[in-house]
């Protein structure tokens, strides 16, 4: 007789935590560990329980969007106000500028537009390659006629 599934008792009550862990950047193996299940069991639950898959997806989607936004902001550059407070009162405000970051731009382009920006370009070349080699008279003769 098979053991009863831990899903109803150990996982379903923690779907909010699962989403939170995914949002915090934990990978599937770490989430499985936190739930006290094997990673293969986690994959089974993803296939069997749509609400579990949705919790993982929602958590990962949220953080992915935040990182994408931060990367884009860094790639394009931005300004921000630096505020100095003394005794809870603003005494100074300075607008600072962060220059666009070429590394972030390259990363963005290589991942978002790989056909145009990846390091390795795939080229299709077709046609025939014909060549003729002409050797000078006497070249390659060993003198044994």
Q: Kindly report each contact of residues 5-8 with a partner whose C-beta sits within 8 Å and lies 24 or more positions away, as own/partner.
A: 6/35, 6/36, 6/37, 6/41, 7/45, 7/48, 7/49, 7/52
Dihedral sign, Cα of residue 73, residue 74, residue 75, residue 77: positive
pTM over 0.85: no
Answer with the residue of higher pLDDT: 69 or 123. 69
Average pLDDT over residues 31-39: 94
Answer with the residue of higher pLDDT: 112 or 77. 77
């Amino acid at each position: 007789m098979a053991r009863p599934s831990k899903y109803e008792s150990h996982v379903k009550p923690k779907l909010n935590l699962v989403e939170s862990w995914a949002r915090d950047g934990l990978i599937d193996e770490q989430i499985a560990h936190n739930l006290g299940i094997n990673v293969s069991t986690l994959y089974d639950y993803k296939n069997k329980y749509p609400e579990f898959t949705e919790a993982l997806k929602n958590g990962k989607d949220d953080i992915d969007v935040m990182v994408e936004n931060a990367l884009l902001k860094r790639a394009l550059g931005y300004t921000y106000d630096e505020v100095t407070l003394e005794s809870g009162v603003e005494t100074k405000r300075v607008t600072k500028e962060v220059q666009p970051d070429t590394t972030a731009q390259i990363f963005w382009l290589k991942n978002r537009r790989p056909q145009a920006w990846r390091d390795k370009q795939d080229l299709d070349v077709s046609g025939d390659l014909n060549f003729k080699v002409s050797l000078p008279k006497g070249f390659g003769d060993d003198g044994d006629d």
